Structure 1
Amino acid sequence: MSFFRLLLLPAALAVVLLVLAATEYAVARPSRRTTDVAYVPASDPDFDPARHVLDVYAPRQAAAAPRPVVIFIHGGSWNSGSKNLYSFIGRRLAKQGVVAVIINYRLAPTVQVPAMADDCARAAGWVVQHIADYGGDPNRLFVMGHSAGGGLAALLATDNRLFSRRGLARNPVRGAILDDPAGLDMYDYLQKMQYPGDEQYLVPFGREPAVWKDVSPMYHVGAGSPPFLLFVGGETYPSISSSSEKFRQRLRALGREPKFTVLPGKKHIPMVLQLYWQHNIIYRELLKLVGAPVAG
């Protein structure tokens, strides 16, 4: 893969996602949506009212016990994207008995990836404190992401420092669902610089190899890492395929073999668009991981 080609995708992806968002409400109503909840205090000097917000999708039907929670992190080459394009994921998860949280985070060039990861960790910290108010179980918190969001989700699951820096005694992430993830090993990718336009990624990642390594989940995986579901498109970019396989092998060596699924014929964008349909394989495996009943 040339990540540079991903820079051409967000506009086209946004158009498709807007169409899906315009129709999803009619077919997925069994949820309560709470929008634009700030997960960073407005008094914080770094507070961004457009990016430090999240939406919560909770099932309308009452449950005997708190429900599992999934935080979804959008992609967009680390410089674009919005939670507002992914309401269909929130509603599909809520329809299947999961409390879903779709988050925004700051983007390049305003900030670089370390700050993005910190934003995502702060959003997860908000969820731990407040999700019980929405029927969710803070002790069953999972992260999910596509493309750049998949890399950030993997980083949350593997880098405990993101939470200890924010005062959490332990990493609250109990598992991760990675959908065609980008950025699993940017240390390797940016050292090679083998594709035209790769210098574009020095904007979100900076020019320090130590930083590239520090924000690459590949180097934070450990024996205590939580379970992973890893889905890769059979026709995705070669770099995503190869880094995902390398990540799989790293987990395997540590005795943490992930559920690894290659979806034949799928390109990068269809890997997230398929989440519009409730019964696709990603949701089926996700429900098993989080302990929600599989919908019929």
Structure 2
Amino acid sequence: MQIGWLRILSALVGALVVLVAGAEYAGARPSRRAADIAYVAATDTAYQAAGHHLDVYAPRQQTAAPYPVVVFIHGGSWDSGNKDFYSFIGRRLAKQGVVAVVLNYRLAPQVQVPQMADDCARAVVWTVAHIQAYGGNPQQIFVMGHSAGGGLAALLAADDALFRRWGLARNPIRGAILDDPAGLDMADYLRRMQYPHDEQYLVPFGRNPAGWKQVSALYHLTSHTPPMLLLVGGNTYPSISSSSYRFQQHLRELGHSPRYTVLPGKTHIPMVLQLYWQHNIVYQQLRTFVGAHPPTQ
């Protein structure tokens, strides 16, 4: 994060998708994809064609009970990224026995982080209303994200006001899976400004310290916050490792028991690229966390 490499994440993930396209096609059979669904109406004044669409990946095998749901939020330094780069995660999640929702959201400089969080909340609201038609359980919705997407996922789980705005009296998120999350405490990060090029983050976060705190999940944690699963690279950026550690410590102080796993030797970008492999430790922990039972292939 501090040396500005988050913005190359999308390019690297895109390269991975190209390299494994053949294998991806072969692995697609156990799942079905519904693509480019608008979760904000085109008549809405906030609507952006590139930002307000999502894909749903569901196991083909029907079951008596609906599948748990995982909403995945991509990273990309709050100014890049696209759901199409992450189709492999949607496919792999479906193989784990969940219905996956992979979404786009508006990006900087067109909008700032409060609007991004609002977009992600609206995607979850759409999921609550519609996911049953895809075999998902609207009472078992989890959020997952990597990098900037991890910070947004944590914020959605912690800040109930994001859902009250859209008419939900209760936060529908049952837990969050945070994969090397960035932005858990941007108030602290931006106050310090200790790394080269940190000024770039004033574009998505603005210059008001009160605003930095408002979009930092750390400051919204309570004793009622849903469970969190954190996975951090052993060689990730120091800002991410330190904020993730403080985040899980604060959860413990509030009476929670978050699962916190450091993956030795992993740097920031491989923490999402490894999700191509369906038996990865992230998926192993995720299945237990969400109560998934992979369908028979």
TM norm structure 1: 0.97
Which deviations, in whole Å up to 9, do the C-alpha atoms of 1:79-125 show, x marking residues without a partner? 00000011111111112210000000000000000000000000000
Distance 1:294 1:178 in 2: 21
Q: In percent, how many aligned pairs have the same letter?
A: 68
Distance 1:277 1:295 in 2: 17
Structure 1 contact 39–122 (Cα < 8 Å) conserved: yes
Distance 2:9 2:60 in 1: 35
Distance 1:191 1:66 in 2: 45
Distance 1:146 1:191 in 2: 23
Residue 84 (str. 1) matches residue 113 (str. 2): no
Distance 2:205 2:153 in 1: 16
Structure 2: unaligned runs, 5 residues or longer: none
Superposition map of 1:20-99 within 5 A = 20-21=20-21, 23-99=23-99
Distance 1:21 1:117 in 2: 31
Where does residue 133 of structure 2 map in the other structure?
Answer: 133
* Residue 22 of structure 1, CA deviation: 5.2
Distance 1:13 1:267 in 2: 14
The aligned amino acid for 2:66 is P
Superposition map of 1:100-249 within 5 A = 100-249=100-249
Pick closer, same or farther for the CA change 1:294–1:131 going to 2, 3 Å.
Answer: closer
Distance 1:120 1:109 in 2: 17
Pick closer, same or farther for the CA change 1:199–1:141 going to 2, 3 Å.
Answer: same
The aligned amino acid for 1:246 is R
Secondary structure at the aligned position of 1:252 is classed as helix
Pick closer, same or farther for the CA change 1:87–1:148 going to 2, 3 Å.
Answer: same
Secondary structure at the aligned position of 1:260 is classed as strand
Pick closer, same or farther for the CA change 1:75–1:20 going to 2, 3 Å.
Answer: farther
* Number of matched pairs: 296
Which deviations, in whole Å up to 9, do the C-alpha atoms of 1:233-269 show, x marking residues without a partner? 0010000000000001000100112100000011111
Secondary structure at the aligned position of 2:20 is classed as helix
Pick closer, same or farther for the CA change 1:274–1:12 going to 2, 3 Å.
Answer: closer
* Residue 3 of structure 1, CA deviation: 5.3
Which segment is superposed worse, 3-12 or 125-134?
Answer: 3-12
Where does residue 2 of structure 2 map in the other structure?
Answer: 2
The aligned amino acid for 1:283 is Y
Structure 1: unaligned runs, 5 residues or longer: none
Distance 1:3 1:154 in 2: 23
Distance 1:290 1:202 in 2: 35
Distance 1:16 1:58 in 2: 22
Secondary structure at the aligned position of 2:4 is classed as helix
Structure 1 contact 143–173 (Cα < 8 Å) conserved: yes
Q: What is the RMSD of the two structures over their aligned residues, measured on CA atoms?
A: 1.4
* Residue 25 of structure 1, CA deviation: 2.0
